[in-house]
Amino acid sequence: MKIAFASGKGGTGKTTVAVNVAYILQQCGADVQLLDCDVEEPNAHLFLPPRIDRSIPATVRRSEAAEDRCTGCGVCADYCEFNAITVFKNKVIIFPELCHGCGVCAWFCPERIITETFRPIGVIEGGKVKGIRFLQGRLNIGEIMAPPLIRQVKGQAQVAAVTLIDCPPGNSCPLIEAVRGTDLVILVSEPTPFGLCDLSLTVATLKKLGLPAGVVINRCDIGNDELYLFCRQGKIPILAEIPHDRRIAESYSRGGLISKDLPDYRGLFASLWENILALREGNYGKSPAADRGWTAT
Amino acid sequence: MDSNMTKEITILSGKGGSGKTTVTGALAVLGKNNILVDADVDAPDLHLLLQPQIKRREAFFGSKKARIIPEECIRCGLCVTSCRFDAIKMEEPPVVAPIFCEGCGLCRRICPAEAIEFAEARTGEWYVSETAYGPMVHAHLDPAQGNSGKLVSLIRAEGRKIAEDKRADLMLTNGPPGIGCPVIASLAGAGLVLIVTEPTLSGEHDLRRLAELIAMFKIPAWVCVNKWDLNPEMTAKIEEASRALGMSVAGRIRFDLTTVQAQLQRRTVMDYPESTAARDIESLWRELSAAS
């Protein structure tokens, strides 16, 4: 089972919820694997922190030309949709940072002087912590190709009973790549105009991808009820509510695990997991698990 | 700095949710003769504070997309096996998933039956608006679309055009979180970066990666720790690290739920001038004005 944690808006608590669910599951003896796919700013490791025992370079294809054999025909530059190639007299220049690795130039070069090699974009690191199998992507700084790295992190994942995926913020390519192929997406949001606005964009994106979603409302007592109304109208189940609690903020700021530092919150994450399972099985709201839902009030 | 040129300040954070948009909204009120750009096109929120009146609306064509014409397709499967982005599924007939189509055009060029169309696709919209604090350029990406970096470059260029026309003093660009494609697009060529971070281990980790990116572009950076009193030791550590990385410390903002109250009323925190956040942002603004 693959469960993604996403949000649209940044800083709503995706990573917090993902690492705490992972911790609770491991405590129950479950076979759990956590993938940090927020490759621009991977943070889950700060809360665990895992012993990294393998490191795999992540690469993307890039085209390379034997420049001295270029006849200057310009087909490659004409066909490249990304303006990554210039042909100047009898010389071809391929800009690696603009190359998307699509292979068009290599396919159509009449002189067959363009070959494809690989260039590094980041690293995939794996390890283990407290019985949780951990994998993260770390994008090289200055690199724009986050989606291929996310894909490779997911490609390195092992088969596990439960795979949890910590997604990047936003609603475009990196998020889409991170949630692709998952069974359920948990959206962590907060009941503020910003939280609602960004959540509604993510919900629209997931709808387009045909992925089911549930919501966790973080800092549930700081805003207004518009987010609740939105979820009710859109029939998006609310799986847990986390109150605004200065102790959580302080534990988080030190890189602490809430369910370890603040045992009174263990029940919240355990009940969230029960609700995730019920939703996954199509029983959410029908089984007693939903009635046991932990709330702040 | 040339006095005729508009200075651009890009507000970034690395980590999301640290308060970029709240701070940008407040700076928009404090600055005079501004142009505002919301470059967080993935998840834009600045419009919720500044209530822009849209004056001009333009479609955004992010990339080309392939489409297989079922009547022409001979089901050879060459496109399916050749696509580097796994965007074509071998169905009856084969179909391109537009979300995953990179727009490279390989399939169209190799299709023996010439059964693939390839055209610009609308992937969003961008707007030029009026706000009480100056013109604003912002955008909306359609659900499940990519290429936000290209859209960011476009709206910044548009903002700069307006800035030149109006001889604006300042262009405030509210950036996206992260360090990837849209961040690079909102950073390149900016005069100054203001990093709004938070006193957490994640905030510090993300700040370091962002600082390294900004250094590659050789843009002066100022750092402001938001909600600093949640962890004073971490704040001090972040400020020390910032200076060591060659950045300047612009100020601190206290944790203040007035920012949420302001957001609920669709206002900036400067409408609550007595609040601690408003006062802290005012002194941040004085520091930045003196610097630029």
φ, ψ at A140 (rounded to 5°): -60, 145
Beta strands A114-129 and A132-139, pairing class: antiparallel
Tell me the pLDDT tens digit for each residue of B78-125. Answer: 999 999 998 999 988 899 998 889 999 999 999 999 999 999 999 999
Nearest to B23 by CA among B237, B178, B224: B224
Residue B265: C-alpha distances to residues B19, B87, B272 (Å): 17, 44, 11
A interface test, pick of B23, B84, B228, B233 with most A CB neighbours within 10 Å: B84
Binary contact (A253, B201; C-beta < 8 A)? yes
Tell me the pLDDT tens digit for each residue of A113-144. Answer: 999 999 999 999 999 998 999 999 999 999 98
The residue-averaged pLDDT of B183-199 equals 95
* Separation in Å, CA of A172 to nearest CA in chain B: 5
Is the pLDDT score of B161 beyond 80? Answer: yes
Residue A142: C-alpha distances to residues A67, B12, B216, B243 (Å): 26, 15, 8, 21
The enclosing domain of B75 has a CATH number of 3.30.70.20
Which regions of chain A carry the CATH code 3.30.70.20? 60-120
Tell me, yes or no, if A137 comes closer than 8 A to chain B by beta carbon: no
Binary contact (B104, A194; C-beta < 8 A)? no
Tell me, yes or no, if A75 comes closer than 8 A to chain B by beta carbon: no
Residues B19 and B163 in one domain: yes
Tell me, yes or no, if A43 comes closer than 8 A to chain B by beta carbon: yes
Strands (E), chain B: 7-12, 34-38, 53-68, 88-89, 95-96, 116-131, 134-141, 170-174, 192-197, 221-226, 248-253
Residues B255 and B180 in one domain: yes
Tell me, yes or no, if A144 comes closer than 8 A to chain B by beta carbon: yes
Residues B114 and B258 in one domain: no
Residues B170 and B223 in one domain: yes
Tell me the pLDDT tens digit for each residue of A61-99. Answer: 999 999 889 999 999 999 999 999 999 888 999 998 889
According to the model, what pLDDT value does residue A12 have? 96
ipTM metric: 0.92
The residue-averaged pLDDT of A208-230 equals 96
Binary contact (A9, B184; C-beta < 8 A)? no
Query: Do the domain assignments include residue B143?
Result: yes
* Separation in Å, CA of A24 to nearest CA in chain B: 21
What CA–CA distance (Å, rounded) separates A26 from A47? 15
φ/ψ bin of B118: left (φ > 0), alpha (ψ from -120 to 50), beta (otherwise):
beta
Give A168's contacts in chain B (Cβ within 8 Å): 178
Q: Which fold has domain A60-120?
A: Alpha-Beta Plaits (3.30.70)
Is the pLDDT score of B203 beyond 80? Answer: yes
**pLDDT confidence of A52, banded at 50, 70, 90?**
very high
The residue-averaged pLDDT of A152-156 equals 97
Binary contact (B200, A222; C-beta < 8 A)? no
Domain carrying residue B17: 7-51+132-291
Is the pLDDT score of B2 beyond 80? Answer: no
Binary contact (A107, B178; C-beta < 8 A)? no
- Judging by beta carbons within 10 Å of its beta carbon (0-12, 13-18, 19+), is residue A183 exposed, middle or buried? middle
Which regions of chain A carry the CATH code 3.40.50.300? 2-48+130-291
From B78, B104, B122, give the residue that closes a domain: B122
Residues B90 and B204 in one domain: no
According to the model, what pLDDT value does residue A180 have? 92
DSSP β-bridge partners for residue A52: A127
According to the model, what pLDDT value does residue A295 have? 44
* Separation in Å, CA of B17 to nearest CA in chain A: 4
Q: Are A295 and A271 in contact (CB under 8 A)?
A: no
Query: Do the domain assignments include residue B24?
Result: yes
Mean pLDDT for chain A overall? 93
Say which residue the tokens 């006062």 belong to.
Answer: B279
Residues B90 and B21 in one domain: no
Residues B25 and B164 in one domain: yes
According to the model, what pLDDT value does residue A296 have? 39
* Separation in Å, CA of A1 to nearest CA in chain B: 22
Nearest to B43 among A81, A108, A198 (CB): A198
- Helices then strands, counting H and E runs in chain A, come out as 12, 11
Binary contact (B84, A101; C-beta < 8 A)? yes
Residues B74 and B177 in one domain: no
Residues B174 and B209 in one domain: yes
Tell me, yes or no, if A176 comes closer than 8 A to chain B by beta carbon: yes
Tell me the angle at which helices A266-280 and A14-27 cross, rounded to the nearest 10 degrees: 90
Tell me the pLDDT tens digit for each residue of B221-261. Answer: 999 999 999 999 999 999 999 999 999 999 999 999 999 99
Please, where are the H alpha helices in chain A?
14-27, 44-47, 75-79, 104-108, 146-156, 173-179, 193-209, 226-233, 246-253, 258-261, 266-280, 288-291
According to the model, what pLDDT value does residue A297 have? 35
According to the model, what pLDDT value does residue A289 have? 45
Is the pLDDT score of B40 beyond 60? Answer: yes
Is the pLDDT score of B176 beyond 70? Answer: yes
Nearest to A223 among B182, B231, B260 (CB): B260
What CA–CA distance (Å, rounded) separates A189 from B241? 31
Q: Which fold has domain A2-48+130-291?
A: Rossmann fold (3.40.50)
Residues B106 and B231 in one domain: no
The residue-averaged pLDDT of A252-281 equals 95
Residues B25 and B141 in one domain: yes
According to the model, what pLDDT value does residue A112 have? 96
The enclosing domain of B159 has a CATH number of 3.40.50.300
Residues B184 and B287 in one domain: yes
Domain count, chain B: 2
According to the model, what pLDDT value does residue B63 have? 86
Binary contact (B45, A11; C-beta < 8 A)? no
